[in-house]
Structure 1
Amino acid sequence: MCTDKTGTLTRAEMTVVRVWSAGVAHAVTGVGYAPDGEVDDPAPVRALLRAAALCCNARLVPPSNRAGWRVLGDTTEGALLVAAAKAGLDLAAEEAAAPRVAEHPFDSGRKLMSTVHQDSAGGGCRVYAKGAPQELLERCSAADRAGERRLLTDDLRAEVIAANDAMASQGLRVLAVAQRQVPDPRPGQKAAESELTLLGLVGMLDPPRPEVSGAVADCRRARIRIVMVTGDHPLTAEAVARRVGIVTGPAPTVVTGTDVEALDEDGLDLLLERPGELLLCRVGPEDKMRVVVALHRRGEVVAVTGDGANDAPALKHADIGVAMGVSGTDVAREAAVTVLLDDSFASIAAAVRLGRSVYQNIRKFLVYVFSSNIGELGPIVAATLAGFPLVPISAVQILAIDLGTDVLPALALGAEPPEPDVMDRPPRSRRERLFSAAVMGRILFLGGIQAIGVTAVFFWHIHASGIPWADLTEDDPVYRKAVTMVHAGIVLSQFFVAFAVRTDRQSLLRVGPLSNPWLPAAGCLGIALMAGISYLPPLQALFHTAPLAAGDWAVLAGLGALVLAAEERRKAWLRRRGPAVPEGEAR
């Protein structure tokens, strides 16, 4: 599962918590998008925050009756606007004093954006740029130190990098802000983004979603490998990955987009084959696509998250493309097969849990239905082989079971909630069939016990009457009661089979016999229908049945309980053998 960080693992609610300028870190209080809070000693960083705010396309929307402060546009830019307001800047006045005349939009290759504004104070125009510190530093030739422009020496550059790493290691997203004076109101991108003066760094906190840690733990138990693929700094990515549980070891493999670009196909395959935790940082959409292709070469089943138009190829190529419904573009949503309405990683884990549950419920349905067919076929085959002149169960009785008493319990099994250990099992192999050997074995096991039981009851009743087989007719009360016992025996056995197939390995007592209330209700309705067939004269005439005594019902109930007990014994044996192993090779 290749997952993004921002918005998927985190809340996508950026809040500036620290501003670094001229070697001094300034704390910022307040949370969310309400401009409530303050910047510690704001005067030295007002120029920095003014430049960052002017280099934004987002807008702050004041609270209304239905919602509080919110952001239209990128949440990172919204956090910058809020920080500027906390520093005492009037955003509308600043925009009016320095109108924008040109823009060089952000792209994943440059990892920065720049805007050009009229400079009413100094004349000419001024470029404001913000972006990844490593990228912006390469375009800076000087740094602002308390209003004084100084040459960006190696020592000063090292100080900036150290400040960036310190914030990133605390899980903060860090942006650098720079500016320069230009004579031309519409400079080219290269001219606008060179010879810049670094103003400082801004550290933003995007807290992890509280539900993500549990979802990550579920995926790890389910043997799903999670690879974080993000455009953030490696230290930021690792800090967040540790908070949510993607990284638990001391030394995860951290690879940047530059490293990925330098690898050929064989090198990328070797990287992905390494066991352990993997973080891909500062990667672009093209790198994400290469990772998906490489994972496919290894035979993996790959899920990928994405929100941008550039993510569309990776989303389309993945086995399961997951687009963000809140922050995603229309192109990403069209390319994906799944859209998250809340953008949360926990929803992906929940979908895996429910998907496994649906697949298991289909198998439970099949085991339930086909085991009853074995129970119906068994006495017919036994009677034929034994030379009995009549059938132990008629065609109309079989139809009554298949189209009557079996239908509602089978539907109730389709609504069975996920088993407690559904996320403790390894992924099943692509080659595993719905009718696997395990499913067929379970059908034969449960159906075989039913068939042996109802066949024994039938011949026991015939034998106890002392009537020779050749003298029996279809209207003989002994024969009619015997076929009624076969019919009722299958219905009662299926009542217990429905409970037996609710779990694959866990005991029924662990999930609770009444945790799916529709199942016992459907089973009881089937038993009531069987009682009507046994006791109501019109139904007796239709089905050629006879009334059963209380002792007969007790014997048949014991037969059904025997099926449930045998299945619980089989599950206990499976649990003692160890964890479930999927058929074929699972990835």
Structure 2
Amino acid sequence: MRIHTLAVEQSLASLNTAAAGLSASEAARRLAEYGPNQFEEARQQHLLLRFGREFTHFFAIILWVGAGLSFTAEHFDPGQGMARLGVAIVGVIIINGIFSFWQEYKAERAVAALRQLLPQKVKVLRDAEIVEVVASDLVPGDVVLIEEGDFIAADCRLTEAFGLRVNQSTVTGESLAQTRNTEPSGEESPLHARNTVLAGTSVVSGQARAVVYATGKHTEFGRIAQLTQTAGETSSPLQREIARLSRLVAGLATAMGVVLFLVGQAMGLPPWENMLFAIGIIVANVPEGLLPTVTLSLAMATQRMAKRHALVRHLPAVEALGSTTVICSDKTGTLTENRMSVHQLWIGGAFMPRADLATRAHVVSDHRQLFVNAALCHNLKDVGEEGRQVLRGDPMEIALVDLGRAMAGDLGAHRRVDEIPFDTDRKRMSVLCETPQGRMLYCKGALETVLAGCRQIQFDAGLAPLDPAARTRLLAAQDDMASAGLRVLAFAHRTVPEGQAADEQGMTLAGLIGLEDPPRAEVPEAIARCAAAGIRIIMVTGDHPRTALAIARQIGLVRSERPVVINGGQLRLMSPTQLQLALDAPEILFARVAAEQKMRIVEVLKKKGEIVAVTGDGVNDAPAL
């Protein structure tokens, strides 16, 4: 039974636990049975074996043979300089092997330093008391306490939730913080269930209690890690070409040596002289300078890339990057900045870009209550960091507060006195504030829920009743903004007279604000340069299809009216042949795809003969990478 489909009581019962958590003795027993909450890393080759591999690849073997033949010739015919040639070849092999190993070893150490993704300590209920344990000691059935700023250490099913929102971009690729509740979910996968929190994600706002149902390699995070470790190493185009050249050189050199030996025999020359001559011909045809030339060229390229903050783990990957024909790119944090910003407003009955507010002072003044609302209605924390105050919490709220403070001016006389917190049923939150104009209620949330409490709307000409025509205009504006990939929030307010209840009724709708995760400034030019170089770019993201398509149009990745958009559910039903044919589309992007599906897309592209590069910054990108 999938735990996210069960009610809270059933979920606890299915794990033989209770809301008060496990006893210390039962937790110890389960830890011995299920093992620590850690990911088993794939067994690495011993350092000496990896070092030795640099001296035993095919081309190095050819050079070893060439050196051996040189020493053999010198032994039987001294004074011909063959010993110096042999020493030079051995020197080339040793220097090249040490240099290649050192380059890759440095990169491996740098990667190892980045592998701290899970929290070290977790608050958990043991024997009905709150204790702090190391994350590796969590077991299925533990009840953990979660609050704003926490990183999740294991896959959990929520049992209590108060305004909880989580950032799942590292695991699912979704750019927006996702609300969470305790209701049973009908989703097929726990990845998108609204009552689960997953290992490797973080809490943006709110508090919760949750029961652990998967630890270590059994979590979604661990499953992705296993996919990453089990993906076999493949040779690069350069490695395949050098192997082919090595076989060709070895065959030609040997053939020439044999032919000339036979010619000498036919001419009646002494067999031993023929043998030494043949050995000399074979050694002369071994390109001992090729190996250090290739290695030094690749090493110089890795140094140039390091200056641009690109870490190359394996030297041949540099040349493979230059041979790329297709780039599969994640969206969140790769093509976009992975931060929220205000892009557009619907204010006074018309759309207005964020950038135009600076030159429209009268609009800002007439609609000041909208900006005061954006500045005050939030759950952010103002914390000290490196000698300055910074906001911590939901990136979307940070963007709104920045806008509100910039436009509303001094709000020192405004003081929050109460709050109606956000919850997933109401889909809105409100704050009650003392202001110079009296006590005010400021509300923000999803348009359909805020509308239910509004009686009038603020236009440029003044207040107007919220009649069916106005509602139709608002809903149409929301659809237009959402189709552009924006996250749309409605803002409303009301005066609360002394002694009156601060309920969310009889409010004035002030306007709509649309937010986005903006594309990186350099991305459109990079896409144009790739297109000019004949490199195809395919967006492969875990985010919503509408958001993915909107960003693709903004950055110039999609230009046609009807590109092919395939979501994870459709991809799951496609055969390898159907996927191969679908990838022939001139413009195609994938949305709502999981980690294993990203890897599948890469594998199918490789079967089509493409040389594939993958870019991404999330855990869900690791298997494809």
Which TM-score band (shorter chain)? 0.3 to 0.5
TM-score where L is the length of structure 2: 0.34
Q: Pick 1 or 2: higher relative contact order, CA cutoff 8 A, min separation 6.
A: 2
> Larger Cα Rg: Structure 1 or Structure 2?
1
Instruction: Please state which structure has a larger fraction of its residues in strand.
Output: 2
